Amino acid sequence: MRRSALSRLAVPLGTEPMEAKLVDDLPCEGGWQFEPKWDGFRCLAFRAGSEVALQAKSGKSLARYFPEVVGLLQSLPQKRFVLDGELVIQEDATFSFDALQMRLHPTESRVRKLSQATPATFILFDMLLSPEGKSLLQKPLTLRYALLEQFFAAAGGPERLKLSPYTCDRREAAKWLDQAGHDVLDGVVAKQLDGSYEPGVRAMLKVKLRRTADCVVGGFRYSARRKEVGSLLLGLYDAAGKLDHVGFTSTISNDERYALTKKLEALEAPPGFTGRAPGGPSRWSTERSAAWVPVRPKLVVEVRYEQVTSDRFRHGTKLLRFRPDKAPRQCTLDQLKAPARPPQLVAKLLRT
């Protein structure tokens, strides 16, 4: 069987991307390059002649889900490269994570249709193979990024290929961080200027802006192991006064779990959510994990969250405290709304 040319590259297909360690604040000392942490799919792109591969952070192929990006890379004058970047889909003056997720669809015809209606953009932020075909993994970031800039200039600036901005000014990076959290930026990444590229190692630093929201408890799920509360289902009121399910929190201390279970069971009553309700069983959940108990909307909790997509917390939230001082009707979806103006950083990127 013929061996793929991609596997013969000096940085072969299957190389893991360098990872980032979550920290609380941007570093102050040492030589650092700060970059936006884009809200998309991390992707390593490989090309050897006519062969092109898109590799997700998990190691799986993304090529069939983004055929327009494969075609874009095949159209470049450079015939051999390994690039690190982020796949995003633009909607209006921002990015849509929902549109990215819709691509992970089993039907090829559906993928083809979406690739034409909402084509993806590939944002570049690192280069792992030199123009001569030599590995750049051991080279410092300053050299890798300089070669990436040369690569981008030689590519001729196709519409769906972008070069990620960067700064060495911590104050500028802090401004970027203020724009995070609303389908745009996922935070800020810090890379050492003299650092090498370490596949699979958390050699970078990342900072995420963590916001808080006051939510109504509209229901709960029991723990899988015992009949005690495992997670709280969170809701916010929409403009019509309906309580929409927006996510969950499971960071409940063992000391308060028993008493909280009794309090929730005393409040049990349908419907729990009068607007958008939690979904039923799916291929990711069992019948037990999907089952939930509705409660009267009496309890308010403050939670910390990182990302919002379509008026929902994308991930689980951290329970900070109960808010008996706040009326449930004061907990509205307005807390999750993105800024009225598109972030300047995104607008700048989309103009390049």
Of 67, 64, 42, 54, give the one whose Cα is nearest residue 120: 67
Contact 293, 315 (CB under 8 A): no
Q: Which residues pair with 328 in a beta bridge?
A: none
User: How would you classify the pairing of strands 161-163 and 120-127?
Assistant: parallel
Strands in 184-297 per DSSP E = 185-192, 202-207, 211-222, 229-237, 243-249, 293-294
Angle between helices 67-74 and 108-117 (to 10 degrees): 60
CB 45 within 8 A of CB 54: yes
Question: Chain-centre distance of CA 209, in angstroms?
Answer: 13
CA 216, 218, 223, 229 torsion: positive or negative?
A: positive
Residue 27 contacts residue 295 (beta carbons within 8 Å):
no
Assess contact for 339 and 185: CB atoms under 8 A. Answer: no
Nearest alpha-carbon partner for 62 in 47, 85, 76, 44: 44
Q: Are 20 and 205 in contact (CB under 8 A)?
A: yes
Which of the following is catalytic: 37, 139, 191, 208? 37
Catalytic-residue membership of 318: no
Number of residues assigned to the chain: 352
Residues that are catalytic: 37
